[in-house]
């Protein structure tokens, strides 16, 4: 059996912005229709008409992923520009009201809105999802159990949604607070095997709770149709460099846990209720708070625990060819998260439109 490759796929949800008002504006699927010519299935409409989603194809390493993510951002910015719009990458819009944003006409979205009502209509949030390929569903469930512990650490680095409907929320990521209104979200449960996981999904389908496994919106899931572990915890990142660095870290964690597993070393499991304490802290304080080290049973500065996490994956980075990308996380800790930088602009200007301008500018950084 050869070494697994741990392929990557990255999906990003962008905001479409009116350059005059700086508010979200429906792209009336012009970007998606225009994009189909160039990007085929890599560009999609989302539930709200002011969201455009792009996704890479399967990438064999982080370099390929960086190339694709950069290309897709560039293309989306150009397509938006053609129809007089701008593109912004953040977990929430600083002042837009969901009440003013039209829903995309589509049978799938109609069904979600019919079922979830106001929770769906108000779900005007933007995330980044990263898929890492695993060879079997059994391995996928093993990964899901082990990797749950690290979700708050990754999430803290991604926090990029401090504002909601024109208010400073006091959270570094308010996106998760909005999304928590959906059922089947948050940190996943522990599952004993792939068959136990599949039995759970099949029971929900059989009893009419869901029509397929994609309606399970956890922060980390074994994808119902592909052999991938899908991280869904992150806010949309301001810069390509930040998105790629986090994707590289997620891939490195999968590779590290696999390396431990084949050496008969397991990673200690913690209850969902405990991991949730760390997730809440990450949402509230981002990098500036403390997370709990459950092994030591003490709270420690989040940055220290992220440094420990970087040390933990260090021995797989050269094999994956991702050392350069993962090392960018030091720079992220230095400059602060997207939320920190948005708040800095707001403190300096007192103007949320200036915050939107900043987000738009950062979105094209390094392209």
Query: pLDDT tens digit string along 330-361?
Result: 999 999 999 999 999 999 999 999 999 999 99
Residue 229 lies in a domain: yes
Q: What is the mean pLDDT of residues 269-281?
A: 96
3-23 burial: b if 16+ Cβ within 10 Å, else e: ebebbbbbbbbbbbbbeeebb
Q: What is the CATH number of the domain that holds 218?
A: 3.30.590.20
Spatial separation of the C-alpha atoms in residues 250 and 151, rounded to whole Å: 9
Q: What's the Cα-to-Cα distance from 210 to each of 1, 196, 215, 231, rounded to whole Å?
A: 37, 17, 6, 20
Which among 218, 58, 62, 53 is positioned nearest to 134, based on CA atoms?
A: 58
Spatial separation of the C-alpha atoms in residues 183 and 191, rounded to whole Å: 19
Spatial separation of the C-alpha atoms in residues 164 and 351, rounded to whole Å: 14
Bridge partner residues of 167 (DSSP) = 164
* Total domain count, the chain: 1
Residue 108 lies in a domain: yes
In terms of residue numbers, what domain contains 218?
8-363
Mean pLDDT of the chain: 93
Higher pLDDT among residues 12 and 113, named by residue: 12
pLDDT band per the 50, 70, 90 thresholds, residue 1: very low
Whether the model pTM is above 0.75: yes
Spatial separation of the C-alpha atoms in residues 86 and 357, rounded to whole Å: 10
Q: What is the mean pLDDT of residues 8-29?
A: 92
What is residue 56's predicted lDDT score, i.e. its pLDDT? Answer: 96
Residue 1 lies in a domain: no
What is residue 2's predicted lDDT score, i.e. its pLDDT? Answer: 63
Q: How far is CA 57 from the centre of its chain?
A: 17
Q: What's the Cα-to-Cα distance from 69 to each of 128, 205, 340, 359, rounded to whole Å?
A: 11, 34, 23, 17
pLDDT band per the 50, 70, 90 thresholds, residue 306: very high
* Tokens of residue 32, six digits: 């998606």
Residue 2 lies in a domain: no
Bridge partner residues of 127 (DSSP) = 235
Residue 151 lies in a domain: yes
Query: pLDDT tens digit string along 143-183?
Result: 999 999 999 999 999 999 999 999 999 999 999 999 998 88
- Which residue has 């969201």 as its token pair? 51
* Tokens of residue 49, six digits: 């008409």
Query: pLDDT tens digit string along 202-252?
Result: 999 999 999 998 899 999 999 988 899 999 999 999 999 999 999 999 999
Spatial separation of the C-alpha atoms in residues 100 and 353, rounded to whole Å: 17
* Tokens of residue 146, six digits: 């082990």
pLDDT at 39 over 80: no
What is residue 205's predicted lDDT score, i.e. its pLDDT? Answer: 95
Query: pLDDT tens digit string along 51-88?
Result: 899 999 999 999 999 999 999 999 999 999 999 999 99
SS3 of residue 160 by DSSP: coil
pLDDT at 266 over 80: yes
Q: What percent of the chain has pLDDT over 70?
A: 99
Q: What is the mean pLDDT of residues 179-192?
A: 93
What is residue 99's predicted lDDT score, i.e. its pLDDT? Answer: 83
Q: Are 113 and 241 in contact (CB under 8 A)?
A: no
Q: What is the mean pLDDT of residues 297-316?
A: 97
Residue 3 lies in a domain: no
pLDDT band per the 50, 70, 90 thresholds, residue 114: confident
pLDDT at 194 over 80: yes
What is residue 151's predicted lDDT score, i.e. its pLDDT? Answer: 98
DSSP 267: P
Spatial separation of the C-alpha atoms in residues 169 and 347, rounded to whole Å: 14
Q: What is the mean pLDDT of residues 268-281?
A: 95
């Amino acid at each position: 059996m050869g070494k697994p490759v741990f392929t990557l796929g990255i999906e990003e949800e962008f905001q479409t912005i009116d350059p005059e008002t700086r508010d979200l504006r429906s792209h009336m699927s012009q970007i998606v229709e225009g994009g189909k010519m160039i990007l085929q299935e890599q560009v999609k409409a989302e539930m709200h008409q002011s969201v455009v989603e792009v996704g890479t194809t399967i990438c064999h390493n982080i370099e390929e992923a960086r190339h694709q993510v950069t290309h897709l951002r560039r293309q989306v910015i150009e397509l938006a520009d053609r129809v007089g719009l701008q593109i912004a990458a953040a977990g929430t819009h600083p002042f837009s009201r969901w009440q003013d944003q039209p829903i995309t006409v589509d049978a799938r979205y109609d069904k979600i809105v019919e079922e979830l009502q106001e929770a769906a209509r108000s779900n005007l949030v933007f995330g980044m999802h990263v898929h890492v390929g695993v060879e079997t569903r059994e391995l996928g469930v093993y990964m899901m159990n082990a990797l749950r512990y690290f979700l708050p650490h990754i999430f803290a680095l991604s926090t990029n949604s401090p504002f909601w409907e024109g208010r400073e929320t006091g959270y570094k990521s308010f996106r998760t607070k909005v999304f928590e209104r959906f059922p089947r979200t948050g940190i996943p449960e522990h599952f004993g095997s792939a068959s136990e996981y599949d039995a759970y999904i099949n029971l929900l389908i059989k009893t009419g709770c869901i029509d397929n496994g994609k309606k399970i919106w956890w922060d980390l899931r074994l994808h119902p149709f592909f052999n991938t572990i899908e991280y869904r915890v992150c806010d949309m990142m301001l810069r390509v460099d930040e998105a790629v660095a986090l994707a590289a870290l997620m891939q490195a964690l999968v590779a590290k846990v696999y390396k431990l597993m084949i050496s008969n070393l397991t990673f200690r499991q913690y209850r969902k209720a405990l991991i949730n304490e760390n997730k809440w802290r990450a949402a509230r304080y981002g990098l500036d708070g403390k997370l709990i080290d459950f092994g030591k049973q003490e709270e420690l500065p989040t940055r220290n625990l992220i440094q420990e996490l970087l040390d933990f994956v260090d021995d797989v980075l050269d094999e994956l060819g991702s050392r350069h990308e993962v090392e960018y996380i030091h720079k992220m800790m230095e400059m602060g998260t997207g939320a920190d930088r948005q708040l800095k602009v707001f403190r300096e200007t007192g103007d949320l439109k200036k915050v939107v301008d900043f987000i738009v500018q950062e979105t094209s950084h390094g392209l």
